[in-house]
């Protein structure tokens, strides 16, 4: 039952992520709305753009993937923008997010350990080399992940409850989301401390999951509860605003840094021409689309001054 639940959660997670990515990726190409600094520009250090050059359209553009990485890595790993612009929140938000990153690493270590075990690698405090490293890495990362995630979520919850502005903007789900992470951390820590301090049970479970041995006994008690909760959270995240962990890519690359220039005969121009043919339904007097006029019709007509 637990195996099926975890597989089910994983499938829900993947389906929702893919659906959201597909929905965002297939939206029409929009008008440019970049915001400087644009990280891949050669003068990104002060926010400069290719527009600073005379006859910029004749000049070969020098863009830098490294420039994007220099912004994205500290932003993702260290939450640089929150650190710069909202320091008091960062003290709560950073441990929470870093705890989640460690949680992902923890799961990877469990899966890696499970697969290694399936190939006969011994893992434990008295195991040789790789097994010993995996044992300690999993243990340190697991406890750090649960601790940081829980503390961070608690800090965020307290802040949301005590700051009148945040409270005014918060919906029930905002509290619920944080409570879920706190509960997961508590259950995980209790499970680990009381019955699985070396994460042996979890590793055995992930081994069975990874090798599809569904007849292996599934953990019960606190560890079983921890697995079930973690799976439910995994399935839940992409359906909430927390999906920003992957939609942020679109926010930056498709909007903030999307300075692609429309050139005559380019595929981009082809998409624009096609979209200019969309029928318009806006009903204000100066448009009166009525699903009869295209954007080209609207843009090339002289509007009526009065309804």
Partner 1 sequence: MKRHLTIEEFSRPSEQLARVDIEDLIPLPPPYDGYKEPEWTRLKDEKRASCECSLDDTVLLSLPKPKSLREERELADKFVAGLQKLFTKENNWTFLQPLVLSMEHCAKCQTCSDACHVFLESGGNDVYRPTYRAEILRRLYYRHVREGGLLSGLTHGRVGMTWTTVARLIELAYRCNLCRRCAQTCPIGVDNALIAREIRKLCSQELGIAPKELHEKGTMLQLSVGSTTGMNSLVVKDNMDFIDEDMSEKTGVKLQSKWDVEGADVLLIHNAGEILAWPENPGAFALILEAAGISWTLSSELAAYDGVNYGLFYDDAQFARIALLHAQAAKKLGVKKIVAGECGHEHKALMVIADRVLTGDLNIPRESSFVLLEEIVNSGKLKLDPSRNNFPVTLHDPCNVVRLMGIVEPQRRILRKIAPQFREMEPHGVDNYCCGGGSGFAIMSGNNFAEWRMKVSGRRKFRQILEAFRDEPDPAQPKYVCAPCSNCKGQIRDLFAHYGAKEKVGLHYGGLVELIVNAMTDVKPGFMDFDAG
Interaction residues for partner 1, span 236-275 (CB under 8 A): 240-241, 243-244, 247-248, 250-252, 254-256, 261-264, 268-269, 272-273, 275
Q: Are 157 and 186 in contact (CB under 8 A)?
A: no
- Judged by CB under 8 A, the chain residues 181 through 210 that form the site for partner 1 are none
Q: Residue 96: name the closest of 170, 147, 158 by CA.
A: 147
DSSP assignment of 120-165 equals T---STTS-HHHHHHHHHHHHHHHHHHHHHHHHHHHHHHHHHH-HH
**What span, in angstroms and rounded, lies between the C-alpha atoms of 193 and 248?**
36
**What span, in angstroms and rounded, lies between the C-alpha atoms of 56 and 45?**
19
Q: Determine the interface stretch with partner 1 among 101-109, 164-172, 178-186, 216-224 (rule: CB under 8 A).
A: 164-172
Please list, in sequence order, all residues whose beta carbon lies within 8 angstroms of the beta carbon of residue 13, skipping any fewer than 6 positions away: 234, 235, 237, 238
**What span, in angstroms and rounded, lies between the C-alpha atoms of 72 and 59?**
27
CB of 230 to partner 1, least distance (A): 21
Among 21, 72, 190, 298, binds partner 1 (CB under 8 A): 298
Check residue 212 for interaction with partner 1 (CB under 8 A): no
Check residue 155 for interaction with partner 1 (CB under 8 A): no
Among 77, 108, 173, 214, binds partner 1 (CB under 8 A): 173
Check residue 62 for interaction with partner 1 (CB under 8 A): no
Check residue 300 for interaction with partner 1 (CB under 8 A): yes
Among 1, 22, 65, 302, binds partner 1 (CB under 8 A): 302
Among 9, 82, 145, 209, binds partner 1 (CB under 8 A): 82
Check residue 162 for interaction with partner 1 (CB under 8 A): no
Check residue 292 for interaction with partner 1 (CB under 8 A): no
Check residue 136 for interaction with partner 1 (CB under 8 A): no
- Judged by CB under 8 A, the chain residues 23 through 52 that form the site for partner 1 are 24, 27-38, 41, 43, 46-52
Check residue 22 for interaction with partner 1 (CB under 8 A): no
Check residue 280 for interaction with partner 1 (CB under 8 A): yes
Nearer to partner 1, 120 or 305 (CB): 305
191 class by beta-carbon count within 10 Å (0-12 exposed, 13-18 middle, 19+ buried)? buried
**What span, in angstroms and rounded, lies between the C-alpha atoms of 281 and 211?**
54
| 12 sits in which H/E element | helix 2-25
Supply the angle between the helices 87-118 and 65-78 in degrees, to the nearest 10.
100
Q: Determine the interface stretch with partner 1 among 109-117, 158-166, 185-193, 211-219 (rule: CB under 8 A).
A: 158-166
Q: Residue 149: name the closest of 90, 105, 92, 84 by CA.
A: 92
Q: How many residues bind partner 1 (CB under 8 A)?
A: 88
């Amino acid at each position: 039952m637990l195996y099926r639940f975890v597989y089910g959660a994983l499938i829900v997670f993947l389906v929702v992520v893919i659906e959201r990515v597909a929905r965002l990726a297939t939206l029409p190409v929009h008008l440019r709305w970049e915001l400087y600094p644009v990280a891949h520009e050669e003068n990104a250090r002060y926010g400069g753009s290719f527009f600073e050059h005379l006859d910029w359209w004749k000049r070969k553009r020098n863009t830098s993937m490294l420039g994007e990485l220099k912004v994205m890595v500290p932003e993702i790993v260290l939450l640089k923008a929150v650190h710069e612009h909202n320091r008091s929140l960062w003290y709560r938000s950073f441990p929470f997010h870093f705890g989640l990153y460690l949680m992902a690493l923890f799961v990877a270590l469990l899966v890696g350990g499970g697969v290694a075990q399936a190939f006969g690698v011994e893992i434990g405090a008295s195991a040789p080399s790789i097994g010993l490293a995996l044992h300690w890495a999993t243990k340190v990362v697991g406890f750090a992940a649960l601790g940081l995630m829980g503390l961070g979520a608690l800090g965020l919850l307290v802040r949301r409850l005590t700051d009148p502005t945040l409270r005014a903007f918060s919906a029930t789900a905002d509290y619920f989301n944080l409570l879920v992470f706190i509960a997961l951390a508590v259950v995980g820590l209790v499970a680990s401390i009381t019955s699985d301090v070396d994460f042996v049970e979890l590793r055995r479970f992930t081994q069975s999951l990874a090798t599809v041995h569904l007849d292996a006994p599934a953990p019960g008690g606190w560890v079983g509860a921890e697995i079930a909760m973690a799976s439910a959270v995994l399935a839940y995240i992409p359906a909430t605003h927390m999906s920003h962990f992957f939609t942020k890519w679109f926010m930056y690359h498709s909007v903030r840094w999307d300075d692609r220039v429309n050139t005559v005969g380019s595929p981009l121009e082809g998409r624009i021409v096609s979209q200019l043919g969309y029928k318009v339904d806006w009903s204000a007097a100066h448009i009166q689309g009525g699903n009869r006029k295209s954007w080209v019709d609207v843009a090339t007509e002289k509007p009526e001054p009065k309804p």
